[in-house]
Structure 1
């Protein structure tokens, strides 16, 4: 029991504080991405924003070198999790247990496809709580992720020494690849 509690103490140190120029670049990228989707919402009267995109912006602009921030993870993580939420909603309805199953399934599918993107784990909940239909997959999910990645491609390459993305690639479904 005590040994188990000892693990809760941690033991590492805080990561270094980012440089001011990195903080400002992340701020500006997040501002542009969310503003672009907000502007599109106003212009087209179609919803382009959803809450998980705020968390996506944190990862894509604040941690652009993370595997979680790469375009394949952002786009396919959101798409796969949304499909799972839509299927669960249609098959089981919006119950606490079906939401739990949908989120757990989204986690597993993102892991197997190597497209883990934590904000996308909220998509099944957004779909099921909002009663979304299949159009939600296109707007806001697909178009929103494409806008996010496009802004990230532009803003994350402004600073010297940054390269975004680190890699592209379609999801590979083979477990050994």
Structure 2
């Protein structure tokens, strides 16, 4: 029984510090503005601009704008590389479970090797294998949407004075 209890024992570290209310409000409002802009543009253009992983990108961008994962390089390249890998493996091997697993793992490895890790982008190969889009998915919604997220974040965070975003561009 003691071994079973040891499995679920935590390291004993305390919870992270609470976020200031101003950061919480800016984070939530930033997510609203960014997704609203993409959704409005998505409805007015022929090309789709929304990607499920962009919601998680907003958590990082507006909640933790100083983090390396939230920088433009990571957002744009992370989404681009992960979608490229997903589309490539879907094209080469079809919608098989093992090709999906390989795409997810390769996307992670490629982001790590290029120092462009953006955790939400890790879901792009899964999204691609489920939706089975064409290669235009790389431009719309992946790259166009990621660039628009960065632009919205840059303007919004400058106006809110929440953060000196970005810490670096590329």
> Is the TM value for this pair above 0.5?
yes
Structure 2 gaps of 5+ residues are none
Match of 1:114 in 2: 115
Match of 1:83 in 2: 84
Cα 1:128–1:161, aligned 2, differ >3 Å: closer, same or farther?
Answer: closer
Per-residue Cα deviation, 1:35-84 (whole angstroms, up to 9, x for no partner): 01100111114211011000000010011111100000000000000000
Cα 1:121–1:12, aligned 2, differ >3 Å: closer, same or farther?
Answer: same
Q: Secondary structure at the match of 2:130?
A: helix
- Following TM superposition, the consecutive aligned residue runs of length 4 or more in structure 1 with deviations greater than 2 angstroms are 5-8, 157-161
Match of 1:35 in 2: 36
| Aligned residue runs from structure 1 range 138-177, under 5 A | 138-160=139-161, 162-169=163-170
Per-residue Cα deviation, 1:118-169 (whole angstroms, up to 9, x for no partner): 1100101111111111100111011100110001101122344621111122
TM-score in terms of structure 2 length: 0.93
1:95 and 2:96 correspond: yes
Q: Secondary structure at the match of 1:158?
A: helix
TM-score in terms of structure 1 length: 0.89
Match of 2:59 in 1: 58
Match of 1:26 in 2: 27
Cα 1:8–1:111, aligned 2, differ >3 Å: closer, same or farther?
Answer: farther
How far apart are residue 15 of structure 1 and its match?
1.2
- The 8 Å contact of residues 23 and 162 in structure 2, kept in 1 or not, is answered as no
Q: Distance in 2 between matches of 1:167 and 1:32?
A: 22
1:15 and 2:49 correspond: no
Match of 2:73 in 1: 72
Q: Count residues with an aligned counterpart.
A: 168
How far apart are residue 6 of structure 1 and its match?
6.4
Per-residue Cα deviation, 1:16-41 (whole angstroms, up to 9, x for no partner): 11111111111111111100110011
Structure 1 gaps of 5+ residues are 170-177
